[in-house]
């Protein structure tokens, strides 16, 4: 009986170790302009939020692959970070030098840089799903939600405050992490409200950070 209990305990511990591993997807094409310092910054940021590895997504025969893979693995080895390969997508902070996929892939439309996401406008050729992956495509307007989505990497718990047109409200996170450390996600419906959007983090009675987003409006940028 003692041997059986010990075996079950060991099995449970092994399962816990596997379940505790956390990784984030990283689109390698976006690192075309990365230096070793950029890789180190991203990896250390991941480590600070208890992310154990990057799952690298890359396009076949992309010229970015050789340079970026070499730099990524060299940096990961130097700071004790893990990397492996994947075929999916990633989320993370957007910076100007990390959206090269639009240039390299010769995308007909850049839907990220300095653009509001307003389903009332033209889609600019964007679809929900892709036929290339044997998926049924839908117009974006049928899939998107009229909500403001936001994420924050936190070292301790903070509340989110969203202001639309100067009217602020405290918004709950979609989930709260056990140790309060990690990536938090939240959203709020804008219910037809327009004008300037800000998202703030409040810890106690102190606002510790505020980000100003694009104003919500009924007009379209370049008809899109």
Contacts for 214 with CB less than 8 Å, ≥ 6 apart:
115, 116, 197
Has residue 52 got a pLDDT over 50? yes
User: What residues does each domain of the chain span?
Assistant: 1-85, 90-145, 146-223
Q: Is 55 helix (H, G, I), strand (E, B) or coil?
A: strand
- 158-175: average pLDDT: 92
Q: So what's the pLDDT on residue 20? A: 56
Q: Give Cα separations from 16 to 3, 21, 93, 113, 178 (angstroms).
A: 20, 9, 29, 40, 15
pLDDT in tens, 1-51: 444 343 333 333 444 444 457 888 888 888 989 999 999 999 999 898 888
Please tell me the pTM assigned to this model: 0.46
How many other β-carbons are positioned within 10 Å of the β-carbon of residue 10? 10
What pLDDT score was predicted for residue 95?
Answer: 65
**CATH 3.30.70 for domain 146-223:** no
User: Of 32-46, 75-89, 154-168, 175-189, where does mean pLDDT reach its minimum?
Assistant: 75-89
Q: Which CATH number does 1-85 carry?
A: 3.30.750
């Amino acid at each position: 009986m003692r041997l059986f209990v010990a075996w079950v305990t060991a099995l449970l511990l092994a399962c816990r170790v596997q379940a505790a591993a956390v990784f984030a997807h990283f689109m390698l094409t976006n690192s075309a302009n990365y230096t070793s310092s950029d890789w180190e910054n991203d990896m250390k940021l991941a480590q600070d939020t208890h992310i154990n590895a990057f799952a690298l997504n890359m396009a076949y025969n992309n010229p970015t692959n050789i340079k970026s893979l070499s730099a990524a693995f060299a940096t990961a080895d130097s700071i004790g970070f893990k990397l492996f390969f994947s075929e999916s997508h990633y989320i993370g902070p957007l910076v100007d030098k990390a959206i090269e996929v639009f240039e390299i892939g010769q995308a007909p439309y850049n839907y990220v840089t300095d653009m509001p996401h307003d389903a009332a406008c033209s889609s600019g050729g964007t679809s929900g799903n892709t036929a290339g992956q044997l998926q049924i495509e839908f117009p974006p307007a049928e899939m998107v939600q009229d909500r403001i989505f936001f994420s924050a990497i936190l070292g301790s718990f903070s509340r989110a405050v969203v202001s639309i047109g100067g009217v602020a409200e405290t918004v709950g996170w979609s989930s709260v992490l056990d140790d309060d450390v990690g990536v938090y996600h939240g959203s709020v419906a804008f219910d037809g409200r327009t004008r300037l959007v800000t998202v703030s983090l409040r810890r106690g009675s102190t606002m510790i950070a505020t980000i100003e987003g694009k104003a919500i409006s009924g007009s379209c940028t370049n008809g899109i």
